[in-house]
Chain A
């Protein structure tokens, strides 16, 4: 059984702080996997290592049979791993549709650099982009500057423009963070839909336990940069080490306090 996305023994230190200390994770193709752990346990750092924003001190990242350790972010993205950021990173002074087209243009090498967006080669990208915006319910704002969107809409836009390039694996850093409950449900539904209908593989970092437990088939727990346990939600929920990692906090309490750390 080989996982689509796998890390082995990832080490990463910032000065004296060992952010990642042998973190290992395996994401099966076609699943929604979760990555949880207390604040500072290295979840986002692991994302950065996988997507090429940080170079690990040691260890390997495998994408299928391909070792992608240390590849530049654009190469990782082109390989088929898309990601969103904890603090959403959109292009505020581009319109929503322009944000989408930036991600779309990575798919085919530009033959004509002076091509007008919205003309010729762009038309199908534009249509595809509009479909995705509709899928996430923000198509009405296509021509608005992305900087004027609300926080939740930015999260949706970021997800939409990651999807536009059609990556095989999508890494989501706190997709439900700071978002109202209705929108959390929408995001959850869309992830489920993409997973079942299109077979997309997801790996998500999230503090909202209800969200994670309801969505993910496998959950990996990280503590102090190392993997504590990995398995289905039911097992992880009751694992003693996990409860310890969360400082003895009852997981139900954790659910109620999902705003912490922001």
Chain B
């Protein structure tokens, strides 16, 4: 008992140190990864995984904080990719200069997010989800049918004359930069008054409005931030794989994968979104290379994982794990009892226990 109490007391400091050390370790591993594993097949996993870590984090900034589940995030991903492709083609931009189009893609994402949000964010819950899916299909159809999108064959990116052996490495570091940027933005949002307003909307939007939260403006801002990041990373992905087609840029599975990643890791949790993507994306890529799981078998398996997560760990790894650790820390301490007000103001009668019922 005594020992437990002592561990309980020292754990918080240990916890902070462990968190800091863990973060440092993750950064070191992430930075050194392409130096240690130089095989392009492996670094390819790295690049695609980091792209999805960014996407999941961006999705979580909006959906995780507000509780509005968007299944239209591919709209931004595809728009960013197409924006880069069309701009590079029409403005004759080639080579590494194409990377200067990334902010342009981001701006396109923001411009798309505003009308998209103004329509979709009028409604909540199921209706919101359905509208995001509808907008998603509208964008896919536009990509198929507009004169400037290349139709069903899509667009090819400008050629990069980098040697095949190290081709992935610059993309890896660009994607890592996006991971870092999006995590920092997610953290800033989380800690800010803006994030507090978003989470109030998640809990009770009408009440939040009644207390002066400008709900539409706040939701729209979060949606646009999320869309901008997603559009930029969509453009990185496009330049990396050298082409985009309507069904890959605007891929219905893209959003389902993001939802699975975030729900597995922890809905609304920054590290949860990162962790979920780190687990799911390599797993998907690996399953696709296995003959036994080829084709739709891997998709069926992902669906099965999703069901298991929703049934057995609906809050995700990080919140569930965090609760477990808190329980460990609290062991041996007196339980936190929530009692009625023990009033300190003189005029009030002393209240010994128990608010309510």
Q: With a CB–CB cut-off of 8 A, which chain B residues contact A151?
A: 355-357
Contact of A189 with B349 in the complex, beta carbons under 8 Å? yes
Q: A77 at the A/B interface (Cβ < 8 Å)?
A: yes
Give the Cβ gap from A101 to chain B, nearest Cβ, in Å.
6
Q: A228 at the A/B interface (Cβ < 8 Å)?
A: no
Q: With a CB–CB cut-off of 8 A, which chain B residues contact A140?
A: 342
Q: For residue B189, which residue of chain A has the nearest CB?
A: A114
Give the Cβ gap from A165 to chain B, nearest Cβ, in Å.
7
C-alpha spacing A98/B210, complex, angstroms: 16
List A198-227 residues whose CB lies under 8 Å from chain B. Answer: none
Which B residues have a C-beta under 8 Å from some C-beta of A? 188-189, 191-194, 196-197, 199-200, 202-204, 206-214, 336, 338, 340-345, 347-349, 351, 354-357
List A106-145 residues whose CB lies under 8 Å from chain B. Answer: 106, 110, 112-117, 122, 134-138, 140-141, 144
Of the residues B188, B196, B336, B347, contact of A117 by C-beta under 8 Å? B196
Known: A183-B356, A189-B347. Contact between A94 and B199, CB under 8 A?
yes
Q: A151-179: contact bitstring with B at CB < 8 Å (1 yes, 0 no)?
A: 11100100001000100000000000011
List A66-90 residues whose CB lies under 8 Å from chain B. Answer: 72-74, 76-78, 83, 85, 89-90
Contact of B355 with A114 in the complex, beta carbons under 8 Å? no
Contact of A180 with B356 in the complex, beta carbons under 8 Å? yes
Give the Cβ gap from A196 to chain B, nearest Cβ, in Å.
10
Give 16 pairs: A residue, B residue, CB < 8 Å, sorted on A: A73-B206, A73-B210, A74-B212, A85-B207, A93-B202, A105-B197, A114-B192, A114-B193, A117-B196, A149-B355, A150-B355, A152-B340, A152-B355, A180-B356, A186-B351, A189-B347
Contact of B203 with A92 in the complex, beta carbons under 8 Å? yes
- How many inter-chain residue pairs (CB < 8 Å) link A and B? 154
Contact of B203 with A93 in the complex, beta carbons under 8 Å? yes
Q: With a CB–CB cut-off of 8 A, which chain B residues contact A73?
A: 206, 209-210
Q: With a CB–CB cut-off of 8 A, which chain A residues contact B206?
A: 53, 73, 89
Contact of B344 with A134 in the complex, beta carbons under 8 Å? yes
Of the residues A78, A83, A156, contact of B341 by C-beta under 8 Å? A156
C-alpha spacing A156/B213, complex, angstroms: 21
Give the Cβ gap from B226 to chain A, nearest Cβ, in Å.
16
Contact of A186 with B196 in the complex, beta carbons under 8 Å? no
Q: A51 at the A/B interface (Cβ < 8 Å)?
A: yes
Q: With a CB–CB cut-off of 8 A, which chain B residues contact A183?
A: 340-341, 351, 355-356
Contact of A117 with B355 in the complex, beta carbons under 8 Å? no
C-alpha spacing A110/B217, complex, angstroms: 13
Q: For residue A146, which residue of chain B has the nearest CB?
A: B203
Closest 5 pairs between A and B when the two form their complex, measured CB to CB: A137-B341, A106-B212, A152-B355, A152-B356, A91-B203
C-alpha spacing A211/B48, complex, angstroms: 65
C-alpha spacing A101/B191, complex, angstroms: 13
Of the residues A89, A94, A144, A182, contact of B338 by C-beta under 8 Å? A144
Contact of B192 with A116 in the complex, beta carbons under 8 Å? yes
Give the Cβ gap from A254 to chain B, nearest Cβ, in Å.
21
Of the residues A112, A117, A186, contact of B343 by C-beta under 8 Å? A186
Q: A148 at the A/B interface (Cβ < 8 Å)?
A: yes
C-alpha spacing A75/B277, complex, angstroms: 42
C-alpha spacing A32/B316, complex, angstroms: 49
Q: A193 at the A/B interface (Cβ < 8 Å)?
A: yes
Q: For residue A102, which residue of chain B has the nearest CB?
A: B200
Q: For residue A138, which residue of chain B has the nearest CB?
A: B341
Q: A255 at the A/B interface (Cβ < 8 Å)?
A: no
Q: A3 at the A/B interface (Cβ < 8 Å)?
A: no
Taking A115-B192, A186-B349 as given, write out 8 further A-B residue pairs in contact, using a Cβ cutoff of 8 Å, ordered by the A residue number: A74-B210, A91-B207, A98-B199, A102-B208, A105-B213, A114-B192, A122-B193, A137-B342
